[in-house]
Amino acid sequence: MLKTLIVYFSQGGTTAKVAESIAAGLRNAGQKVQLHNIRDGAPRDIEAYDAIGIGSPAYYFRPAFNITEYIRSLGDLHGMQVFVFTLYGTYPGATGNDIRKTLSFAGAEEIGYFKCRGADFFNGYLREGYLFSADNPSADELRQAERFGKTVAGIMSGRAYMPPPEDPELPLMYRVERLLSSRWIVNRIYCRLFSVKRDRCTACNICVQTCPTQNISVDSSGRPVWKKNCLLCVCCEMKCPEEAITSPLSWPIFYPAILYNVNRASNDPSISHVKVRISRGETSRV
């Protein structure tokens, strides 16, 4: 029996749904499948598997840092079969391209690529009143993911595979945004610029519990302190019930870029959205 490991990153559960659907397709084809959300730690022992799947949501039109770093930590994959799946709320950008290239550089053999939409709970968009791709992945997309799993199983058993072309590059504005949210800048600059209003903070620790990389600790008074392993998801800011946290993305200097993204996506007929309100850490539809 063939064995496949699916490693993915999921914060809100949408990427997990797609991973589970792909796993269902593989299992229906007679495979044994292990699922692993990388926010629970990074599995490194992959030698026991015949193939590995890698899944990530789009973060600033690229993969989440922890997914890219996990792939690089594996070293030479010596021709191991791999497949990739990504989710995006507005545009995929370079998310799939980057993962596929990183795996290729590591010596992997690609056997599948799948992408679909997923609800975009980015705080910058939510503050403007927009939740893009709110009801994705849809039931049809999950069925497509299951069929993708069956197709991957067939390729692992010897069926021919024709790699799809790379996703098209986005306009210059998005490439600039991706550059300004690079790992180097996040680690060395943005991580130091999160702040907390001490008169509002109640030391509830929701930010600590929400952080997907355990990047937040607390000081002697129970207030949050940010370290240097940030994904720039800014969920700590979004989920704070006292609205006590301010991230660098809340600064006026970033507002034009967020407004550009919202205006472009909200006027794109291919992207669905609903109007929302965010208050005291909760997002609700208007």
Note the pLDDT tens digit of each residue in 172-184: 999 999 999 999 9
Report the alpha-carbon distance of residue 224 to residue 35 in Å, rounded: 32
| pLDDT, tens digit (0-9, with 9 covering 90-100), for 2-28 | 999 999 999 989 999 999 999 999 999
Query: What is the pLDDT, as a whole number, of residue 41?
Result: 87
> Is the confidence at residue 70, as pLDDT, over 90?
yes
pLDDT band at 42 (very low <50, low <70, confident <90, very high): confident
| pLDDT, tens digit (0-9, with 9 covering 90-100), for 75-99 | 999 999 999 999 999 999 999 999 9
Tokens 């970033």, residue located: 254
> Is the confidence at residue 44, as pLDDT, over 80?
no
> Is the confidence at residue 59, as pLDDT, over 90?
yes
Instruction: Tell whether omega for the bond before 212 is within 30 degrees of 0, i.e. cis.
Output: no
**Listed residue (74, 84, 79) closest to 54, CA to CA:** 84
- DSSP for 21-39, written as a single string: HHHHHHHHTT-EEEEEEGG
| DSSP code of residue 107 | T
Query: What is the pLDDT, as a whole number, of residue 162?
Result: 96
Count CA atoms closer than 13 A to 196's CA, side-chain side.
Answer: 25
Mean pLDDT (whole number) for 99-114: 97
| pLDDT, tens digit (0-9, with 9 covering 90-100), for 185-218 | 999 999 999 999 999 999 999 999 999 999 999 9
Share of the chain above pLDDT 70, in %: 100
Q: Roughly how many angstroms between the first and final C-alpha of the chain, as a whole number?
A: 50
**What rounded mean pLDDT belongs to the chain?**
95
Take residue 33 and report the two structure tokens written for it: 């499948």
Query: What is the pLDDT, as a whole number, of residue 45?
Result: 83
| pLDDT, tens digit (0-9, with 9 covering 90-100), for 118-164 | 999 999 999 999 999 999 999 999 999 999 999 999 999 999 999 99
User: How far is Cα of residue 39 from the mean position of the Cα atoms in its chain?
Assistant: 11
- DSSP for 131-188, written as a single string: EETTT-S-HHHHHHHHHHHHHHHHHHTT----PPPPPPPPPHHHHHHHHHT-HHHHHH
Q: Which residues pair with 36 in a beta bridge?
A: 7
Q: What are phi and psi of 274, to 5 degrees?
A: -125, 155
> Is the confidence at residue 103, as pLDDT, over 90?
yes
All structural domains of the chain, each given as residue ranges with its CATH number in brackets, are 3-156 (3.40.50.360), 172-285 (3.30.70.20)
| DSSP code of residue 248 | G
pLDDT band at 170 (very low <50, low <70, confident <90, very high): confident
**Listed residue (240, 231, 130, 249) closest to 193, CA to CA:** 249
| DSSP code of residue 120 | B
Mean pLDDT (whole number) for 54-60: 97
**What crossing angle do the helices spanning 139-156 and 14-28 adopt, rounded to 10°?**
40
pTM of the model as a whole: 0.95
Query: What is the pLDDT, as a whole number, of residue 240?
Result: 96
Query: What is the pLDDT, as a whole number, of residue 106?
Result: 96
